């Protein structure tokens, strides 16, 4: 079969591009641990305030010693305004929105997640000591650029766990149909 030279060039070019794109996805997934956020746990966005998973917001310690950060995004802020976390320990974030879609991005780490009303986004990561900026990376309205907050990560010896250890939030009853 005779294939025109230009057609050959296009076929080879497209094949090279496909291999390159799939390689990037594979590298991000396996070498950099980048995964799509789960979006399995649901919540009624109208009753986030009052829901035991987010009242109060902030840091909680599970019965097994695991560290959890419960965060609410709303136009145009994150609650609580500052989280103090221990360095070197896995921290599981539980994040939801009361209004529109936001994006929780911990700058200079690979931790970030879309925050969609109706869902609780969850990811686990750990930090070295220092201050971290958190920004909103989904355009959410006129105050989008002001929607930032701070994480203060201190050496574990200097970290004071919350006064009352609270068991991790109970599993949600409602699941999305897949």
Give bridge partners of residue 171 from the DSSP assignment. none
Beta-bridge mates of residue 96:
72
Query: Whole-number minimum distance, CB 41 to ligand CUA, in Å?
Result: 20
Q: Does 68 bind ligand CUA (CB under 6 A)?
A: no
Give the CA-trace dihedral at 105, 150, 101, 90, to 10 degrees: 60
Interface with ligand CUA, residue 106, by CB under 6 A: no
- Compare residues 27 and 139 and give the one whose CB is closer to ligand CUA: 139
Q: Which of 10, 21, 22, 139 binds ligand CUA (CB under 6 A)?
A: 139
Report the residue count for the chain: 178
| CA–CA dist 71, 84 (Å, integer) | 13
- Token pair, residue 135, equals 């920004």
Report the residue from 71, 120, 140, 169 that binds ligand CUA according to the rule CB under 6 A.
Answer: 140
Q: Quick check: 117 binds ligand CUA (CB under 6 A)?
A: no
Q: Is 144 in the site for ligand CUA (CB under 6 A)?
A: yes
134 binds ligand CUA (CB under 6 A): no
Nearer to ligand CUA, 86 or 103 (CB): 103
Q: How far apart are CA 126 and CA 49, in angstroms?
A: 27
Q: How far is the CB of 62 from ligand CUA (least distance, A)?
A: 28
Expressed in percent and rounded to 5, the helix, strand and coil fractions of the chain are: 20, 35, 45
Query: Which residues of the chain form contacts with ligand CUA (CB under 6 A)?
Result: 102, 136, 138-140, 144, 147
């Amino acid at each position: 079969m005779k294939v025109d030279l230009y057609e050959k060039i296009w076929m080879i070019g497209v094949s090279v591009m496909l291999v390159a794109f799939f390689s990037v996805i594979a590298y991000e997934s396996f070498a950099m641990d980048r995964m799509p956020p789960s979006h399995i746990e649901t919540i009624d966005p109208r009753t986030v305030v009052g829901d035991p998973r987010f009242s109060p917001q902030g840091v909680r310690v599970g019965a097994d010693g695991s560290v959890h950060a419960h965060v609410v995004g709303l136009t145009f802020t994150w609650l609580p305004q500052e989280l103090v976390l221990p360095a070197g320990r896995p921290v599981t974030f539980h994040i939801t929105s009361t209004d529109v879609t936001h994006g929780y991005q911990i700058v200079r780490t690979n931790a970030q997640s879309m925050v969609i009303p109706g869902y609780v986004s969850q990811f686990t990561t750990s930090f070295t000591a220092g201050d971290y900026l958190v920004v909103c990376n989904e355009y959410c309205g006129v105050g989008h650029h002001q929607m930032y907050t701070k994480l203060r990560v201190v050496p574990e010896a200097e970290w004071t766990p919350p006064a009352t250890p609270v068991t991790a939030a109970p599993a949600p009853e409602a699941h999305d149909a897949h």
